[in-house]
């Protein structure tokens, strides 16, 4: 069934939060985090936009599988210039959105198979965020349908689950690399997001590109899920596979992170060396072990060369880990000059921490010096 629901709603400031019983259907952690989840999602998407691309007055954007509007809550400002369309199979979520969002938004229900109730070549941008990740059959028909409604040259931002989600929830990475496409929990309840689909980057490049050429993959670029940037039109050049976040080697009770700001990226394409030189800065991060205070932190650059590490105090980390009383001493910094000393090229820097209990945790980050 396809019901269009268009009606003037309330201003964003007057918008009530969505009903809590709809939140598990989009995998939200709850009412307390719903808005923050949307804000982070929007921020990550902005990082992945191809250089030069911007939403402009008169454009139309479709959020396929919009759920109860986690992203739409963040697009109220944009809806003054850009028509924001959202669709989903969940009638209750669509009815709620239609009743509460303003005139810059349009919402409609779609069936479990194409077509969508939208004209061909209608949208400059199509999003499918955490949607194809729950559709085990018929991915090709849906991709073809998204291509149909995109304008020539239109942009698609489509998320998928690759290695990190697979390893955390299903099995070893080699299984996914070998199979390419894996479905887990085919019988899962839709109240809890339904089946889970996982794809390797290579599978996406080969199969999605046959319908909509993949320009880039941001591996785990949405934090947990990966994002494929596709265009309607002939393929241009070799797709880029970029990994904007550090590789984290998690150990229970021993956390670590690199604040990935050495290039203060406005955009991950740029940060990955695709377009222009950006001025590098120091590399900051932290480690917290809940067993014992940190004993040492070491950083190794190319060829096992040791880089200087300064310890710093991190009240923000202490705030996030109030149960660990030594968390304030978690910070480390690798100075800018030490990074520049690696010389031009791509380098992998490994930062290893040990605690007084003898446990070890490491982070690995790619550093590009031009």
Applying CB under 6 A, the residues found at the interface with ligand SAM are: 25-27, 65-67, 70, 88-90, 110, 112, 129-131, 134-135, 193
Nearest CB to ligand SAM, comparing residues 196 and 352: 196
- The DSSP bridge pattern shows strands 345-355 and 240-242 to be unpaired
Q: What residue number has its CB nearest to ligand SAM?
A: 67
Nearest CB to ligand SAM, comparing residues 65 and 256: 65
Element (H, E) at 317: helix 315-320
Backbone φ and ψ of 145, nearest 5°: -70, -40
Q: Are 59 and 82 in contact (CB under 8 A)?
A: yes
Smallest gap from Cβ 245 to ligand SAM, in A, equals: 19
3-state helix, strand, coil in the chain (%, to 5): 30, 30, 45
Nearest CB to ligand SAM, comparing residues 168 and 311: 168
Nearest CB to ligand SAM, comparing residues 89 and 278: 89
What does the buried/exposed string (b/e) look like for 232-260 if buried means 16 or more CB atoms within 10 Å of the residue's CB?
beeeeeebbbbbbbbbbeeeeebbbbbeb
Smallest gap from Cβ 83 to ligand SAM, in A, equals: 18
Nearest CB to ligand SAM, comparing residues 162 and 333: 162
Smallest gap from Cβ 89 to ligand SAM, in A, equals: 4
Nearest CB to ligand SAM, comparing residues 85 and 287: 85
Report the C-alpha gap between 64 and 131 in whole angstroms. 8
Q: Are 184 and 170 in contact (CB under 8 A)?
A: yes
Smallest gap from Cβ 54 to ligand SAM, in A, equals: 22
Smallest gap from Cβ 63 to ligand SAM, in A, equals: 6
Smallest gap from Cβ 135 to ligand SAM, in A, equals: 5
> Taking every pair of C-alpha atoms in the chain, what is the biggest distance, in angstroms?
63
């Amino acid at each position: 069934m396809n019901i269009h629901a268009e009606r003037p709603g309330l201003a964003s400031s007057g918008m009530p939060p969505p009903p809590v019983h709809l939140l598990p259907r989009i995998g939200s952690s709850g009412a307390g985090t719903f808005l923050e989840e949307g804000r982070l999602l929007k921020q990550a998407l902005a990082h992945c936009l191809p250089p030069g691309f911007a939403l402009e007055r008169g454009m139309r954007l479709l959020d396929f599988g919009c759920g109860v509007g986690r992203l739409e809550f963040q697009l109220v400002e944009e809806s003054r210039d850009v028509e924001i369309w959202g669709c989903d199979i969940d009638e209750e979520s669509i009815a709620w959105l239609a009743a509460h969002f303003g005139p810059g938004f349009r919402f409609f229900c779609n069936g479990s198979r194409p077509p969508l109730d939208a004209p061909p070549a209608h949208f400059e941008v199509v999003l499918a965020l955490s949607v194809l990740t729950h559709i085990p059959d018929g991915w090709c028909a849906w991709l073809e349908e998204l291509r149909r409604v995109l304008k020539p040259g239109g942009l698609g931002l489509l998320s998928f689950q690759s290695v990190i989600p697979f390893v955390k929830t299903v099995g070893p990475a080699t299984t996914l690399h070998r199979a390419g496409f894996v479905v887990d929990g085919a019988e899962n309840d839709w109240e809890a997001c339904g089946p889970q689909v996982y794809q390797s980057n290579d599978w996406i490049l080969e199969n999605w590109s046959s319908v909509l050429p993949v320009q880039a993959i941001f591996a785990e670029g949405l934090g947990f899920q990966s994002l494929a940037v596709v265009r309607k039109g002939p393929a241009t050049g070799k797709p880029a596979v970029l990994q904007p976040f550090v590789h984290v080697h998690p150990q229970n009770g021993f956390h670590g992170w690199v604040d990935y700001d050495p290039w203060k990226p406005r955009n991950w394409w740029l940060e990955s060396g695709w377009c222009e030189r950006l001025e590098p800065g120091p590399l900051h991060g932290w480690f917290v072990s809940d067993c014992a205070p940190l004993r040492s932190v070491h950083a190794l650059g190319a060829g096992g060369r040791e880089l200087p590490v300064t310890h710093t105090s991190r009240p923000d980390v202490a705030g996030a880990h109030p149960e660990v009383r030594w968390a304030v001493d978690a910070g480390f910094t690798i100075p800018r000059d030490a990074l520049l000393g690696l010389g031009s090229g791509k380098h992998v820097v490994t930062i290893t921490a040990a605690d007084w209990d003898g446990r070890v945790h490491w982070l690995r980050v790619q550093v590009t010096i031009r």
